[in-house]
Amino acid sequence: MTTIELVQGDISRESVDAIVNAANSSLLGGGGVDGAIHRRGGPAILEECRKLRASQYGKGLRTGQAVATTAGDLDARWVIHTVGPVFSATEDRSALLASCYRESLRVADELGARTVAFPAISTGVYRYPLEDAARIAVDTVRAARTDVEEVRFVLFDERAYEAFARQLR
């Protein structure tokens, strides 16, 4: 059984085995969660991302996939980078968003992580509607077969927190 917890705050301050990053496919950093994680985590994370680019991910990390690096100075052992879909009004990309959560948990299992913090993937610059994104996140984690004992959704603002809370009720 995986326990789901909700907290409002900055995910880069969480203390867990693995922090999931809403990265972009370049793996070379960005704004939002990505910026906060790299800022607080220090240069070791970016250094490993660059190595991943030079080896397996020359064309970048594909949408819906996940890969782990060190967590640098964060209070975690790993950062799991995943690339959410950009929201589209004409194409249903929910399967790709679900894949982010499933693949991140699969990587967490490979690592042996027991506590994992997720942001609300794709709900920032990628514009996914919060209610839809929250439903996909909660449903996917609930349905996942994983050894992760605790999933903590870390929501930056009250609006996101409330959207996730509605899905858990």
Comparing CA positions, the residue from 33, 27, 31 lying closest to residue 56 is: 27
Question: Of the candidates 84, 113, 144, 153, which one interacts with ligand ADP according to CB under 6 A?
Answer: 84
Q: Are strands 78-83 and 115-118 parallel, antiparallel or unpaired?
A: unpaired
Q: How far is the CB of 59 from ligand ADP (least distance, A)?
A: 19
Mask 144-163, x = binds ligand ADP (CB under 6 A)? ----------x-xx--x---
Taking CB under 6 A as the rule, which mask of x and - marks residues 107-146 in contact with ligand ADP?
------------xxxxxxxx--------------------
Residues 128 and 102: their CA atoms lie apart, in Å, by 18
Counted residue by residue, the chain has a size of 169
Query: Which of these is catalytic: 10, 17, 34, 139?
Result: 34
Contact call for residues 78 and 111 (beta carbons, < 8 A): yes
Give the helix/strand (H/E) hosting 116.
strand 115-118
Nearer to ligand ADP, 32 or 42 (CB): 32
Tokens 């514009």 sit on residue: 127
Nearest to 124 by CA among 85, 167, 162: 85
36 near ligand ADP, judged by CB under 6 A: yes
- Is residue 49 part of the contact set for ligand ADP (CB under 6 A)? no
- Residue 139 a catalytic site member: no
Look at the block and give the residue holding tokens 């240069």: 43
Task: Note the residues at the interface with ligand ADP (CB under 6 A).
Answer: 10-12, 22, 32-34, 36, 84, 119-126, 154, 156-157, 160
The residues that are catalytic are 34
